[in-house]
Amino acid sequence: MRIELYVIAAILIFALPLVYAGQAGGPGGQGGPRGAQVPEGAKVERDLAYAGDSDRKHKLDLYLPEKIDAPLPLLICIHGGGWAMGDKAGGSPLIAFTKDGYAVAVISYRLSDQAKFPAQIQDCKAAVRWLRANAAKYKIDPDCFGTWGGSAGGHLSALTGTSGGSKEFEPIGGNAEVSDRVQAVCDLFGPTDLLKMNEQSNGRGPIKHDGARSPESMLIGGPIQDNKEKTERANPIKYITKECPPFLIMHGLNDDMVPIGQSEMLLEALKKQGTEATLLKIRAGHGGPEFSQPANLKIIREFFDKHLKKTGATKDAGTRENESKTPAPAAEKKDDTSTATAKTLEPVAPKKDEPTPGELRIGERKADAPQRPEMPGRDGPPNRQTRPGENPGGNSAGNRPSPWGSPVRIGGDAANMKAIEYKQVDPQPLHMWVFYPEGWKATDARAGIVFFCGGAWSHADHNEFVPWARYLASRGMVAGVAEYRPKGALTCGEDATSAVRWFRAHCTELGVDPNMIGASGGSAGGQMAAFTALCEPRNAANENTTISAKPNVLVLFDAVLDMKAERAAERLSAPDKMALSPIDHMANDSVPTLLFYGSECPFVGQARAFLAKSKTLGNSVQLYTAPGSNHTYYFRPPWRQLTFTLMDEFLVARGFLKAGAPTPKVETDVKHTNENN
């Protein structure tokens, strides 16, 4: 069953912000073929089967401090992905809490293409019961369990919390006599009342939640408005009682995937029952690095500290209420006083010696280092930071958010990057964020590359490939991150054409060899990059079409190569689908191409077909797959660093980089599979 591409967009938006903090690791940190890196001072038990069967979705990874002096409180992390993608291998930022005296379990659960609701909550509850039944073995405190999750994982975290002790969902996997209650819940922008999401979105979001192919309808097994009774069973609010555990809810004010009203309804329902609950409203969208800022992770840790570590925290005796054993006492509640609160958190500015969360620095510049020469596209001071929504030339545009998605955030190395307007469109021009290497001069003739983020042609976080752009700049290339209008594949194709053409047209200002330009991107952004190289260009009005918009090499990540097969493109005409499908325009002179795909990515079959066709045509194509990995695997360590290394080798072989050992040093047992062999 093919997964809706806009579900993948939700993963792209949500996965990144939590991965940066989640893959803790460090020098000497352990890595595993199917999970996140392990922080120093911690250990991991991987692939523990929690439901008594061999289903790979019924497994969890348990992270523990190496030294345990007393039973530990446990945090159970539930991944997001529209209930349709993802697994425990994505890790969680809470893994880092092992250093604070927590055990952390990251669980997989059956996805909606494998089993419909209530399978997902049954799996979460089975994991809770198994962990409690095995608490003594792993030195876990069975009375101090918390759940955490974002997006779909936030929904399941909340539902696990509110339905604890309920007979609504039949137990699976054994341990039926063990309690499935938890003592604290952290819900990050999770849906609650699925039937009201469309109404609350008011047509502003990219997903028609009531549609037959929406993530919500895929979860339920049919259009949610036609299956209201079954859909209502998935609503965490339905199960709220005075025995519910404390809640910490965090939601972005600008979330257009899951309306913030979903969390506001949950808060109000908890308030009516006198449950301690807090809703923190963050100036962010659906996910984003704001949620993994150290200040916000501290709030989460302090919430769990309060309810899972303090004397008198809510306890659970570990038995089901219908058994003769002693039931779990409920948290003390006051019927006449609500402890539910809501407030807005302002973003915390990073310290001078810290990069903006989610950003990767090229290197430090000494205070007495000479100023970098002025670079093209700037009228203001060369080191001045450009704010989102501000004209890069220095003229304020009201500091309003960009209508074209999340703009690139400038970190401590602003001198290495300049924002340049490359295309005039209404209501706001498109920008190219250009990263320059040390020692750059406009008279250089370096290799260059343009990156495009993913987002199903409907969303765009242009920060996605900033780490790759910065890495290549550190190796001597000029790397651009192109802003584009996420208004459908046709518009995206036009903007991609404009971006590569602009880059080549301004080679003499950028210090780039016009015959040494690459294009790169992930998912929908990978399709855009491949489109510029293989398909007929979509030329914007008033552009100089005598300048080629075709790159000289491609580096693609989980790219969509066959638009005819994608439901996200189903509104396009058959000729448009053909025109936008890179695989249908390959020729015997197609540019050298490097492909990265997760072996479980829904588009990997397209990549293999692309490779087979390239061999017939005699083209140079290299395909690397990450075993056991899903869509967008390359955003998390160690895979990201491994793609740096293979990309480096590919570009060196084609003269785009000088020979030399790739910068990243990765100590890991995992590696890509070379499918050319």
Does residue 513 or residue 369 have the better pLDDT?
A: 513
Residue 317 lies in a domain: no
Residue 604 lies in a domain: yes
Out of 1-10, 39-48, 599-608, 631-640, pick the least confident. Answer: 1-10
The Cα 585–Cα 579 span in angstroms is 8
Residue 165 lies in a domain: yes
pLDDT at 562: 94
Residue 212 lies in a domain: no
Same domain, 629 and 518: yes
pLDDT category of residue 31 using cuts at 50, 70 and 90:
very low
Average pLDDT, the chain: 82
Same domain, 506 and 650: yes
Residue 530 lies in a domain: yes
Rounded mean pLDDT, 580-604: 94
- The CATH number covering residue 472 comes to 3.40.50.1820
Count the Cβ atoms, other than its own, within 10 Å of residue 480.
30
Would you state the structure tokens that stand for residue 607, as one six-digit string?
């990549």
Q: What is the per-residue pLDDT across 383-401, written as a single tens digit (0 to 9) for each?
A: 323 322 333 333 222 233 5
The total domain count for the chain is: 2
Instruction: Annotate 17-84 with DSSP letters as a single string.
Output: HHHHHHS---TT-EEETTEEEE-TTEEEEEEEESSSS--TTSEEEEEEES--SSPEEEEEEE--STTT
pLDDT at 410: 54
**Is the model's pLDDT at 25 over the cut of 50?**
no
Same domain, 449 and 333: no
Residue 213 lies in a domain: no
Residue 405 lies in a domain: no
pLDDT at 441: 92
547 lies in which domain range?
Answer: 414-674
Residue 388 lies in a domain: no
pLDDT category of residue 23 using cuts at 50, 70 and 90:
very low
Same domain, 426 and 304: no
**Is the model's pLDDT at 567 over the cut of 90?**
no
Same domain, 291 and 440: no
Same domain, 461 and 341: no
Same domain, 340 and 432: no
Of 555, 494, 553, 486, residue with least CA distance to 524 = 486
Name the 3-class secondary structure at 148: strand
Same domain, 333 and 420: no
Same domain, 340 and 420: no
**Is the model's pLDDT at 121 over the cut of 60?**
yes
Same domain, 133 and 280: yes
Q: What is the per-residue pLDDT across 514-561, written as a single tens digit (0 to 9) for each?
A: 999 999 999 999 999 999 999 999 999 889 999 999 999 999 999 999
Q: What is the per-residue pLDDT across 258-306, written as a single tens digit (0 to 9) for each?
A: 999 999 999 999 999 999 999 999 988 888 778 888 999 999 999 999 9
